A and B are shown apart, each in its own frame.
Chain A
Amino acid sequence: MIVLLVVLFYLLHQDFWNWTEARPLFFGFLPRGLFYHAGYTLSSAGLMAWLVRRAWPARLEAWAEEESE
């Protein structure tokens, strides 16, 4: 599930459907492709928040601190 979501997100970066069109201009000045990638960046923060909750390697910290060599 986690891997699939990350792969899907990676694929969404290749937004060929926004390639040639600049309009509409979001907020009056942001071309369509730039607005999409700004939204993509914002969504990445959401994905990271989800990954930190679901895939946090908690055991690593205990392992690192149990007996330092």
Chain B
Amino acid sequence: MTATLFVLAYLCIALYIGIFAFRRERGQAEDYFLAGRAIGPWVFVFSLFGTHMTAFAILGSSGHAFNFGIVTFGLMASSSALIVPLCLLFLGTRLWAIGKKFGHITPVQIFRDRWECGHIGTVIFFLQAALLVPYIIIGVMGGGTALNVISGGAIPFWAGGLLVALVVMSYVFFGGMRGTAWVNSFQTILFLTFGLAAVLIISNGMGGFSAVAEKLLADPKTSPLLSREKYSPLAFFSYTFNPLSAIAFPHIAIFCLTAKKMDQFKKTVIFYPLCILLIWLPCVCLGLFANSATEIPAIAAKLAEKAATARPVVADDVMLRLLAHYAPEWLAGMLGAGIMAAVMASDSQILALSTMFSEDIFTFYGAHEKFGQKAQIATGRLFVVLVTAFAYFTALNAKASIFDLAVQFSFAGFSAMMPLYVAALYWKGSTKWGALAATLWAAACTVGLFFAPRGFTVYGLLPVVPMTLGSALLIWVVSLLTPKPAHRTVSRYFSV
């Protein structure tokens, strides 16, 4: 009960921060969607990181480590520590500069202006929106799971997911980008502060991680989890393509436009790997060591299912189970709030979708001129409500684990979109037809993935590899064969 109250108090604080931010809003679209391009340096660091750290990083990673062991860290964390900051350094700064110079608010606006296209931009919008929805769904799933476990089952999954969806929707609705950025910063600091405490308390409760590691190594059934002997090197290599999706995620690209000064990227680029280490290492360790927590009935049941079926099980809740079992109730509440904080990072994705709809569809097709700025913001807010409702009802029926859902659809699809950003920002010869070819390829592959069997590979490589390489090849070949944008347009973008 105490733990639940702490988490509910946290949700109230998040809501307050969002509404407080709303009071500073000036009624301009750029202020609502980009916080007036005036986010300060530390809020930018924590918020950008918080935006990227979601239920996937916290609950999905520990669930994956429960099934597959230490390989989880190398698959997503260490590769992201190299590739995401590189993308921010070489693509994020350029996006910021172009957005500031030409007043763009979304990536599609940049593509439309850069490649002199209209409806092709709309095709890109629809694909980006379709790929982002699974990521919003996992946020709702994470919220439902977290509240269910923390409350000891008193709050059912549907009610927990609903409560989290309503809180997130409210502060995005009222606070826009400023509210979202402040809540994200608060969430990141909260999680970083209490994450370490969680690890120490659980380690102590389990009799020390050294003893647990030795116990797992001594058992032939669990010892492979401490190495990568059962994991394919080609699949491991494939995963290094997933972090390429970071800059293609619209919420990350849009967030790059909010910085007040380009210098703010410096801190983010340097601290990003450190934040990754501080968040992922404890999550992976806890997921791995949960394999010896047989005294917790829910975990024992998962271990029995895993042994009986020889297949991975849905284990997104293992870290929460450890917390509920080993930490005192009040501390479990504080730590649960920290976990909840990370799980709720779906806020920025919902805001990004709203921004994109408002700018790329509503404004582009003339509704802004016809109905005015207030109607534009109101439409953006209505879109927030609709997207949240859709994500909530889909999450209620989702069968896949958080990790699988994110990797299979969002990461692979957005990685395949990444060549568009490189071409638009760095290659004068790229054309709208090349961009269309790459977008259709990414869309077709994602639809194909939906029908493909679980664990589908291409010559041992995960689909993300051929998807990304195919997209790069298509934009290159088709651009070579098709007419270029006007010289004046190209020189505007490359006069730097």
Contacts and interface: CB of A to CB of B under 8 A. Distances in A.
Contacts of B285: 29-30, 34
B368 interface: no
Contact of B78 (A37, A51, A60): A37
User: Which DSSP category, helix, strand, loop or mixed, fits chain A's interface?
Assistant: helix
B101 A64 contact: yes
Contacts of A47: 82
Contacts, number: 150
B361 interface: no
B324 to A, nearest CB: 22
Contacts of A40: 78, 81-82
Nearest to A68: B101
Interface string A22-53: 11010111111110011011101101110110
Contacts of A14: 233, 236-237
B77 A13 contact: no
Interface residues of B, number: 56
A65 B100 CA distance: 7
B496 A20 contact: no
B281 to A, nearest CB: 6
Contacts of A59: 496
Interface residues of A, number: 46
Interface string B214-231: 100100000100111100
B89 interface: yes
A63 B284 contact: no
B85 to A, nearest CB: 5
A63 B227 CA distance: 49
A50 to B, nearest CB: 10
B5 interface: no
A38 B465 CA distance: 25
Interface in B263-311: 263, 266, 269-274, 276-277, 281, 284-285
Given A25-B213, A28-B210, A48-B272, A34 B86 contact: no
B327 interface: no
A36 to B, nearest CB: 8
B213 A28 contact: yes
Given A13-B240, A14-B237, A34 B266 contact: no
B127 interface: no
Contact of B227 (A19, A52, A61): A19
A13 B102 contact: no
B102 to A, nearest CB: 5
Nearest first, the 5 closest Cβ-Cβ pairs linking A and B are A28-B210, A29-B209, A22-B226, A64-B97, A44-B273
Interface of A: 6, 9-10, 13-16, 18-23, 25, 27-34, 37-38, 40-42, 44-45, 47-49, 51-52, 55-57, 59-61, 63-65, 67-69
24 contacts: A9-B82, A10-B82, A13-B240, A14-B233, A19-B227, A20-B228, A22-B226, A23-B217, A25-B217, A28-B208, A28-B209, A29-B209, A33-B227, A37-B70, A41-B81, A45-B81, A45-B270, A47-B82, A48-B270, A51-B86, A57-B94, A60-B94, A63-B101, A68-B103
Given A48-B270, A64-B262, 10 more contacts: A13-B240, A20-B229, A28-B208, A33-B226, A40-B81, A41-B81, A52-B270, A56-B89, A61-B97, A61-B262
